[in-house]
Structure 1
């Protein structure tokens, strides 16, 4: 125990008196198949080699990595027929983080360290990773929900090359392989391999990894729903990412993780794994074996506090964390926690005073069974003790204090939650509802920068104003579905318009970007509660229009927003081409010009699951014959600023099936967006004749991103 502490135990608490027993430091194989040296200060994203370059690995269907992946469902059956894993939001003995080598670091080191995994010395064979997940954080399914237990996937050895692609076969969605023509897989592998451009920016690497994972998860969920199965789409996506080496920050480290920022939000534990923030997909304590001077010791490097144990979570700068073990969810057997593995590592971190990353989990307000995980920065353990819990077992307790000088993380989450419950608690409010009751939820007008009283006058509307039909848009047939449209229904006309699948997941997330999304309309027989009616239901997010420091007024949300969520529609007056001024007088004019590369490539990598690639590029992009001005009348969308690295993208949606139907410009979340983050999209490029430095239309860009073009049009 820290002798400098003023902590005094109560009569029912025992102070831990632990001697440094280095011989008890766990020496298991590295978790998640890590068997590489981490000798980079900014760990690069690793890509998988094309099948043609490495015929002995990905070009061979008999290779263990490919063979085990294609037999995903059979392995699940074999394991689930035996011992059932005990799930826990904190650490469990079966899925512990392993001792990960003996790097030489100082006692108070806080930065990344070089870690040599023990498995590098023991074996050169592919390691086995466990993709069990203790959290019920998948989306709700139509059928009965089942948890994945004991899914083991062999991953290939580490490949350090850049500009590599993957051509792994598809995972099963119901215990058997998804049947596709053999030629489709070969074509995808040869002609349309997933190719992601490497970046020296760790933030961009992490974002690409997370966006790829989420896109694969949404697609697998779509396939599962079509086949009426209820497997864990997040585990399937994680298996693909791991087997394909599509990961960031491979290797363990003490301190910050390159590309991960305080306040980042996640919805699945697997997301933490693939970016190197927290290695165990199930255990709550991540730790490693490190060298301090001439001594080696097992120390904790990251913990996930997900609310299973009785943690004190009222103070955003203090966390009382319960140790692991003692609880089994499969039966009522309970026993005292033991000072081993993760618990021992936490105790040694108290002595070593090393920083520990903390991820806090909360219930997802938008999903009854889901959770939101928030990275809250670096903490240090200040005290530890042992006490008896309400269930009668002896439990280890560790008091962690947040390191000073860090940006707010969980504090912003809790603050925004209070505002949603009581909007009057939000200070510096100029107007409680800019929409004057026309939106589903009030839109606050905030200025905590200067004395400006609000934006220029405009009329707030919630529907696009147009004066004549758009002759180029053709009417299309309405569906005759009873009650709601169902995934996999071959008779659903609206699904047929969308390529055979419903475009949204069961929780309303857009699965992938398309030239046009067709929602059900008033002429369809399905009810208003049909899952194919998402964007037409209007705004469902708590927005605030706020004064920025250098870019006028902006838009942000009190809610956390998941990638693929509908945000709002661009509303204004549809104007004729003859009335459009290209001299820059109308700063609120929306054109469907080519968006940025990140927006175009938002879709999942079809090649990763043996499907045909969707080739969408700036060369193939075709703008819609529609222009909308929000200068005189509009909604919250008129306040979204431009960014060369946006977090929002626009998507055409049509649900007016008649001859007068217009495509609606709907905005969706490009990635997970934490509360109080400004919402931005890429205004695009209207063409060389009107853009570029020195033109009348071009404006200086102040987005501040590393990929800033310097101007926007």
Structure 2
């Protein structure tokens, strides 16, 4: 529909780089490659045009998605199999012919033009899906023909990556090795920072200096309330005895969410809400009910790493979809500002989360500048029934390592569910946009409502080092 209505960009085919697409950008659908002008073929693996010289074909891009044995050991080399000749329902396998895309690659070998390469991988989280990563510009160096698995002749093209480009596929190859053997990770301090508290281990890595890790803390997988009190009026859970269904008008959890699930079938957050109600331990529905997304623990392979100038940070070995749940902010809950300092030692607690901060407004996965709209200067706050303060200094999880950014890629969403006859609030982090592997995860710390921006005399403020071109403040709250 978007293609037919012209809702796309870079519609004119071109040789070389595509404006707006950077090496390492990830895509979750082949059609997205068409919409941004990276690869115009929705099915075929080779995209080409007729050149200026007597209509000679010129290859523009290829998608290597694992359909053939294409990968070489060297991440800067791709051995690509030609198209055609496959057996179908009503035809046998045959020799590939030097025509269309195959001919375009042969002509580009002699022409020496740049060819865009997009690599496809199985999604580590959603096994039935694929992730496509733009790996930059290559040149075709060699062409030959060999017998394929079917016994028929297949064209083989050797493509070599143009030097000086940032790494993309090389990063993915490294991550695959780390998953097979975490000891191969350079700079590894601990293979699992959580000591088994999480079902998915979290590596601790330092490639910057000799520091052996952050200050000691006790790992908590979820938030801990020091005293029993309800944050919202106690309500009953649902009465569903299987998985909750969106068509069930009698499901109380669906009613509290406005009549529909907040998540898609694969667990991706569909929209932001002032407050999301999940099914809790008191609900009789099954454990994998799709309205229990934040209670399933870590799904992504996360890594706590030493940054060059902001202490420890957090990133993922896996690609993350927009709206995917990452983790919650675990720690000890205080009903006041007592979490600001730790047991009278006078030290500022930098591992603390407040729900009553002011935050820059944003439209999730949406940039107003792209559609000609002006950005709003208004701040926004969440509809929290009661202010919540969470300290992760002594007890916490991976969220305590997430740094601030004025252009963050993660946002927090308040979620509540019933437990032990009480309704307790959880602060959960979701991806604001799709996040490539090894990209630092950051969120907006917000600003205090009663303090003047930029007052460096205020206790608990630090210079903002996010490095964003849109950095809006001189000091951030901690």
On whether the aligned pair clears a TM of 0.5, the verdict is yes
Higher strand share: 2
Q: Which residue of the partner structure matches residue 40 of structure 2?
A: 279
Call closer, same or farther: CA 1:354–1:390 in 2, change over 3 Å.
same
Work out whether residues 478 and 657 of structure 1, in 8 Å CA contact, stay in contact via their aligned partners in 2.
Answer: no
In the alignment, structure 1 residue 684 sits paired with structure 2 residue 446: yes
| 1:363 alignment partner, one of 103, 112, 122 | 122
Q: Which residue of the partner structure matches residue 189 of structure 2?
A: 430
Structure 1 residues 26-78: Cα deviation after superposition (integer angstroms, max 9, x where no partner): xxxxxxxxxxxxxxxxxxxxxxxxxxxxxxxxxxxxxxxxxxxxxxxxxxxxx
| 1:442 alignment partner, one of 181, 201, 214 | 201
User: How far is the alpha carbon of 1:409 from its aligned partner?
Assistant: 1.0
Structure 1 residues 598-654: Cα deviation after superposition (integer angstroms, max 9, x where no partner): 3x434899xxxxxxxxx9x74575455111121222111000011122221111111
In the alignment, structure 1 residue 309 sits paired with structure 2 residue 68: yes
User: How far is the alpha carbon of 1:710 from its aligned partner?
Assistant: 4.0
User: How far is the alpha carbon of 1:354 from its aligned partner?
Assistant: 0.8
Q: How far apart, CA to CA, are the structure 2 residues paired with 1:659 and 1:395?
A: 66
Structure 1 residues 322-378: Cα deviation after superposition (integer angstroms, max 9, x where no partner): 222222544334333332222221111111111111011122232332212121111
Q: Which residue of the partner structure matches residue 203 of structure 1?
A: none
Call closer, same or farther: CA 1:289–1:693 in 2, change over 3 Å.
farther
Structure 1 gap ranges (5+): 1-238, 606-614
| 2:422 alignment partner, one of 660, 664, 681 | 660
| 2:8 alignment partner, one of 234, 244, 247 | 247
Q: How far apart, CA to CA, are the structure 2 residues paired with 1:578 and 1:693?
A: 20
Q: Which residue of the partner structure matches residue 30 of structure 2?
A: 269
Call closer, same or farther: CA 1:604–1:256 in 2, change over 3 Å.
closer
Deviates more, 1:363-372 or 1:274-283: 363-372
Q: TM-score, normalised by structure 1?
A: 0.61
Q: How far apart, CA to CA, are the structure 2 residues paired with 1:578 and 1:382?
A: 65
Q: How far apart, CA to CA, are the structure 1 residues paired with 2:403 and 2:5?
A: 36
Q: Which residue of the partner structure matches residue 85 of structure 2?
A: 326
Structure 1 residues 655-700: Cα deviation after superposition (integer angstroms, max 9, x where no partner): 2256632210011122222222211112123336243364625432
| 1:487 alignment partner, one of 236, 246, 252 | 246
Work out whether residues 468 and 660 of structure 1, in 8 Å CA contact, stay in contact via their aligned partners in 2.
Answer: no
Work out whether residues 220 and 396 of structure 2, in 8 Å CA contact, stay in contact via their aligned partners in 1.
Answer: yes
Work out whether residues 690 and 698 of structure 1, in 8 Å CA contact, stay in contact via their aligned partners in 2.
Answer: no
In the alignment, structure 1 residue 596 sits paired with structure 2 residue 339: no
| 2:263 alignment partner, one of 470, 495, 504 | 504
Q: How far apart, CA to CA, are the structure 2 residues paired with 1:689 and 1:449?
A: 35
Call closer, same or farther: CA 1:707–1:243 in 2, change over 3 Å.
farther
Q: Over aligned residue pairs, what C-alpha RMSD do you find?
A: 2.7
Q: TM-score, normalised by structure 2?
A: 0.88
- Map 1:542-553 onto structure 2 (within 5 A): 542-553=301-312
Call closer, same or farther: CA 1:499–1:391 in 2, change over 3 Å.
same
Higher helix share: 1
**Taking CA–CA contacts closer than 8 Å with sequence separation of 6 or more, which of the two structures ends up with the larger relative contact order?**
1
Number of residues of Structure 1 aligned to a counterpart in Structure 2 = 461
Work out whether residues 125 and 299 of structure 2, in 8 Å CA contact, stay in contact via their aligned partners in 1.
Answer: no
User: How far is the alpha carbon of 1:421 from its aligned partner?
Assistant: 2.0
Call closer, same or farther: CA 1:410–1:594 in 2, change over 3 Å.
same
Q: How far apart, CA to CA, are the structure 2 residues paired with 1:437 and 1:704?
A: 34
Structure 2 gap ranges (5+): 369-375
- Map 1:188-587 onto structure 2 (within 5 A): 239=1, 241-243=2-4, 245-291=6-52, 297-327=56-86, 329-470=88-229, 472-579=231-338, 581=340, 585-587=348-350
